[in-house]
């Protein structure tokens, strides 16, 4: 079991229940495709396999499917996955408590990671992506200038953390000053589009 899961058990916090409740509400901030993906979709391949981590209702995965990719979406929320299957039946889904996921090495062309942070996934992204594969990542970051009491600290990237976690990758887009909203409050986020090296030097 991952470090986060152990910590959640100690806190008597059930993330699956929380996300099920959230996805039962319409109009939440994850109820449409992310603008970051829409803006850079044309840079991603048009065939192969993609993984959407913490997929939610499948709006981002659907864009990849329309692009021509076969998509596996994983999430901890049964409610979200049921909504995704109903709206986008072409997407494969799996109920998974990340980082407990096992896929063949170098089997993916694209990985999406939106509004989810588990650092144990970073080496898995490297393992699962083919050489030359793309990682698109966007999630919250720490901000000393804002009240972040509404967000769990373990879900906040530190400044430059994501950039340094993928040293040696081709960084196509990197921005740590993305204005977003989390639980109805302003929140800074980091976004990155990176490409895994085609070969090891």
Average pLDDT over residues 24-50: 85
pLDDT at position 10, please? 46
CATH code of 39's domain: 3.40.50.150
Residue 87 — φ and ψ, nearest 5°?
-85, -35
> Which of the two residues, 28 and 23, has the higher pLDDT score?
23
Q: 76 by DSSP, 3-state: which?
A: coil
Between 8-22, 51-65, 173-187, the lowest mean confidence (pLDDT) is in: 8-22
> Which of the two residues, 136 and 150, has the higher pLDDT score?
136
pLDDT category of residue 145 using cuts at 50, 70 and 90: low
**72 located within any domain:** yes
CB 187 within 8 A of CB 180: yes
**161 located within any domain:** yes
Q: Looking at the predicted structure, is the pLDDT value of residue 57 above 90?
A: yes
> Which of the two residues, 2 and 79, has the higher pLDDT score?
79
**119 located within any domain:** yes
**34 located within any domain:** yes
Average pLDDT over residues 128-133: 98
pLDDT at position 30, please? 62
Give residue 153's domain range: 3-167+177-195
**33 located within any domain:** yes
Q: Looking at the predicted structure, is the pLDDT value of residue 108 above 90?
A: yes
Residue 153, judged by CB atoms within 10 A of its CB (0-12, 13-18, 19+), counts as: exposed
pLDDT at position 76, please? 92
**172 located within any domain:** no
The tally of domains found in the chain comes to 1
Mean pLDDT value across the chain: 86
CA distance 65 to 88: 9
**201 located within any domain:** no
């Amino acid at each position: 079991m991952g470090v986060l899961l152990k910590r959640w058990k100690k806190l008597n916090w059930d993330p699956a229940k929380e996300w099920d409740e959230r996805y039962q509400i319409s109009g939440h901030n994850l109820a449409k495709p992310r603008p970051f993906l829409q803006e850079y979709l044309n840079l991603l391949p048009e065939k192969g396999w993609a993984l959407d981590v913490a997929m939610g209702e499948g709006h981002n995965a659907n864009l990849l499917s329309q692009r021509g990719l076969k998509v596996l979406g994983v999430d901890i929320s049964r409610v979200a996955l049921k909504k995704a299957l109903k709206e986008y039946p072409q997407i494969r889904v799996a109920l998974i408590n990340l980082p407990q996921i096992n896929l063949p090495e170098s089997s993916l062309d694209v990985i999406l990671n939106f509004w989810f942070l588990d650092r144990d996934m970073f080496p898995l992204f490297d393992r699962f992506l083919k050489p030359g594969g793309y990682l698109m990542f966007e999630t919250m970051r720490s901000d000393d200038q804002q009240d972040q009491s509404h967000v769990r600290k373990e879900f906040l990237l530190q400044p430059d953390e994501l950039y340094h976690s993928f040293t040696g990758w081709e960084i196509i887009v990197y921005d740590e000053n993305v204005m977003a909203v989390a639980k109805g409050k302003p929140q800074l986020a980091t976004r990155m589009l990176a490409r895994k090296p085609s070969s090891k030097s």
